[in-house]
Amino acid sequence: MPRPILATIHVDSLKHNLALAKAQSPGARAWGVLKANGYGHGLERAMRGFAEADGLALVEVDYAVRLRELGWTKPILLLEGFFDAQDIETMAEHNLQAAVHCNEQLAWLEAAQERLTARGVRFDLHLKMNSGMNRLGFMPQAFAAAHARLSAISCVASITMMTHFANADDTEHPLLPIAEQIRRFEAGTAGLEGARSLSNSAGVLLHQKTLRNDWIRPGIMLYGATPGGATAQQFGLQPAMTLSSEIIGVQEIADGELVGYGSRFQAEGKMRIGVVACGYADGYPRHAPLGTPVLVDGVRTRLIGRVSMDMLTVDLTNLPQAKVGSKVVLWGRGNPIDDVATAAGTIGYELMCALAPRVPVVEG
């Protein structure tokens, strides 16, 4: 038999979570964000899960083309825009929309406009404001000028005004509360007509009443993990990925025995240890500490010892029925990915995106 590790993608949960995002944002259209291979769930599976989305958004130009080849006919948005002038040709060929966040992109468009306009190409573009995150985008005070410059380009059909929040999951952020970013966005877009796109998952789930969006951009919530602010379950989200495996070995050890590399765990009395076929080469975080939750035969127990490349060890002392072949859930249904991520000092996003290529994936 194959090694027992398996990732099960719940396409129905992708659908459920998208419906929830749309229900939170009446009147807005929704991009299904599926960058990074659908946050590790698979591009094609995410595309099917988001069949009811108004468009799909990602950052990889080659994956955008792949979505067209897979038959997606609704809008596709490149969230980081195009990376050189050649990408504009790809956008024209495959009818892709893109963010425009810097002067270099404006210049490439200006240089290409005559040729594209002659061919009848017209782009829907998303002008990005840097409202405080200081990653991509035009400063609020430079936004109107960038908007005017983009509007003057003959192959531009529409301009949506877009920004991204640093702290939508933390309303009381002492340094950059979301209200400050909204204030800067409103100031920078004053007097400009057009559609607006502000909300990521945290915006959708926590600020739907205060944010006016024509297009929302939910990502993580669609995969059933929390963007912060409350648990996924409290938000009504369903996990879309279950990473499971089995116990492949059991050790009965005496008080004081040591477990794993570095002998970091020492038995507190007589213990039963289960060995699980899952390690960091499967995408499980190596830095997950003692106590990280693991489900064995539906019962929550704890990780002990250091995670190795292909295996990890769990405490079976209070699970006398557990044996070789017992089912283990590393994260997903019954063991929220956010709990595992919190224990490991990271976020659900990182765990799901890091699912390793060697893990077989099925749907269920």
Ligand X SMILES: *Cc1c(COP(=O)(O)O)cnc(C)c1O
139 annotated as belonging to a binding site for a ligand: no
| 130: contact with ligand X by CB under 6 A | no
| 16 forms part of the interface with ligand X (CB under 6 A) | no
Nearest residue to the partner ligand X, using Cβ: 219
101 touching ligand X, by CB under 6 A: no
User: 22, 128, 209, 261: which one is catalytic?
Assistant: 261
Is 35 one of the catalytic residues?
yes
**Cβ partners under 8 Å of residue 71, min gap 6:** none
- Determine whether the annotation assigns residue 217 to a binding site: no
Count Cβ atoms below 10 Å from residue 350 Cβ, excluding itself: 16
23 sits in which H/E element: helix 11-24
Give the H/E segment covering residue 157. strand 156-163
Nearest-approach distance from CB 220 to ligand X, in angstroms: 4
One DSSP character per residue, 258-294 reads EESGGG-EE-SSSEEEEEES--GGGT--TTPPTT-EE
Nearer to ligand X, 40 or 227 (CB): 227
Q: What would the two tokens of residue 224 be?
A: 């059933």
Rounded-to-integer distance, Cα 246 and Cα 295, Å: 10
Neighbour-count burial of 353, counting CB atoms closer than 10 A to its CB (0-12 exposed, 13-18 middle, 19+ buried): middle
Sign of CA dihedral 296, 298, 299, 302: positive
Cβ closest to ligand X, residue 136 vs residue 295: 136
Q: Which of 5, 28, 56, 79 binds ligand X (CB under 6 A)?
A: 79
Residues of span 18-37 touching ligand X by CB under 6 A: 33, 35
Helix (H, G, I), strand (E, B) or coil at 113: helix
Residue 97 or 201 with smaller CB distance to ligand X? 201
Q: Is 323 noted as a catalytic residue in this protein?
A: no
Q: Which of 15, 35, 63, 128 is catalytic?
A: 35
Here the tokens at position 309 are 């490349």
196 is an interface residue for ligand X by CB under 6 A: no
State yes or no: residue 77 binds ligand X (CB under 6 A): no
Does 10 sit near ligand X (CB under 6 A)? no
Binding to ligand X by residue 55, rule CB under 6 A? Answer: no
Residue 201 within binding range of ligand X, rule CB under 6 A: yes
Residues at the contact surface with ligand X, assessed by CB under 6 A? 33, 35, 79, 164, 200-201, 217-220, 227
Q: Which residues are catalytic?
A: 35, 261
Residue set of the binding site for substrate? 135, 309
